[in-house]
Amino acid sequence: MRLTPITIGNIQIKNNVFLAPLAGYTNYAMRRLCHGYGAGLCFSEMVSAKGLKYDSENTKSLLYTDENEGLCAAQIFGSEPEIMRAACENPALAPFPIIDINMGCPVPKIYKNGEGSALLENPVLAEEIVKECVKSGKIITVKFRIGITEEKLITAEFAKRMEGAGASLITVHGRTKDKVYAGEVNYKEIAAAKRAVQIPVIANGGVFSGGDAERLIKETGADGVMVARAALFDPQIFCALTATPTESKLAMFEKQLKWTRQVCDERFTTVFMRKMAAFYLKGVRGAAAFKDRLFKAATPDEVWTIACEAFKDL
């Protein structure tokens, strides 16, 4: 696909290929890895605005970053405008000049709380949230879905409301809330959002290859693409999309293990890197046996030993 810089507020992003916020996965090490493989902008895991209000250590731990990572946006979720603004102003978000508001999460717990994709059904409240967050002085972006169901598509109108409220960029996931992460991406609805606004529009959904990214841009006219689940199976998809040199899977894993261990305790590192190794083993001969051993590993060193065997020729 054609790479172009994107301007968000007063910040120019080097290219138009982004890493999506993925709960449980886009931590510091994952973002740093994807930045190195060419991603123009990476997003944190979604962070609870209320968690920041009540000074939750677990919430703040999701926001670790340093100068080695590269530009990162933080994603927050919530449904109360004042609390969302306070989150934007929280010291834990000081390192992040761009704050993304989650209006697309389909998880029942989030939806039932009136957060995430539930805001698609309350556009007036969604506008108020964006307006309040803009007052914080942060650059505000919004990620949302095309509707709750195919019978209630709201993309173009919602996009206009977000722009009017002060969002500097929108990302449109081309599926409805009820589809979760399955089913075809609705290119027409993303295209409708692009036609409706003047701010940059990023298309999200179904990008697993360079061909997928090219088709998404061609069919929607979007300014860029956001990669989600494909990055879990192979962070070097960003190399393919941005013509960045690749490296061995083992070298990739070693970096991610090192950076995870650098900022997380041994237990978290073990559990997280076991999961990542399992993703990277997709399609590898003997994967089942390696996974069985992986999930019995009790330390990062044990995970590394198994990874050296599993990825030695990859």
Residues marked as catalytic: 105
Q: How many CA atoms lie within 13 A of 254 on its CB side?
A: 11
Residue 247: how many CB atoms within 10 A of its CB?
Answer: 14
Return all residues near 215 (Cβ < 8 A) that are at least 6 apart: none
The alpha carbon of residue 314 and the mean position of all alpha carbons in its chain are separated, in whole angstroms, by 26
Give the Cα separation of 70 and 34 in Å (integer): 10
* CA dist list (Å): 61 to 153, 165, 262: 36, 30, 13
CA distance 155 to 145: 7
DSSP string, 124-182: HHHHHHHHHHHTTTSEEEEEEESBSSTTSB-HHHHHHHHHHHT-SEEEEESS-GGGTT-
Tokens of 123: 């556009």
d(CA 138, CA 264): 28
* Cα–Cα dist 256/273, whole Å: 8
Distance between CA 287 and CA 74 in Å, rounded?
34
- In angstroms, rounded to a whole number, what is the distance separating the alpha carbons of residues 218 and 175? 18
Backbone angles phi, psi at 169, to 5 degrees: -165, 150
